[in-house]
Amino acid sequence: MTDTAGMNEGAGPAELSVTRSTVDGVTVVTVTGEVDHHTSGALRDALVPEDPTPGGRTVADLGGVPFMDSSGINALIAGHQAHGPTGWLRLARVQRPVLRTLEIVGLTPILACHDSVRDALES
């Protein structure tokens, strides 16, 4: 795994850590902390493929995210759209409260959720 970028966006007591790495040619974005209107910009930026060529592939590891508000949902939608019709964004290790939010807003049919990063990479 090669670290290609890292971002930290301060948000008072609940800072967000977002790091990017590459695994088997796929960008893995690892997120730790709460995603809200103060921190969602870092997530949005990390989910947009660095290479503008169509067909980007990204796995967002949300195992360290205990809370996500509508700003985070919007960042996920923007990330999904940024991958275009030939690429994909998959989610991994989504904690139950965040998964429930994704289910309520109807994103789980659009953004595949996997139990592990490896599962997301191999599916």
What is d(CA 118, CA 50) in angstroms, rounded to the nearest whole number? 21
Q: 16-53, pLDDT tens digit by residue?
A: 999 999 999 999 999 999 999 999 999 999 999 888 77
Domains of the chain and CATH, by start: 2-122 (3.30.750.24)
Q: 63-115, pLDDT tens digit by residue?
A: 999 999 999 999 999 999 999 899 999 999 999 999 999 999 999 999 999 99
Q: Which string of DSSP letters, residue by residue, matches 52-70?
A: -SS--EEEEEEEE-S-B-H
pLDDT of residue 64: 98
Q: Cβ of 45: how many Cβ atoms within 10 Å? A: 17
Side chain identity, residue 97: P
* 8 Å CB contact between 48 and 78: yes
Q: How confident is the model at residue 54 (pLDDT cuts 50, 70, 90)?
A: confident
pLDDT of residue 33: 97
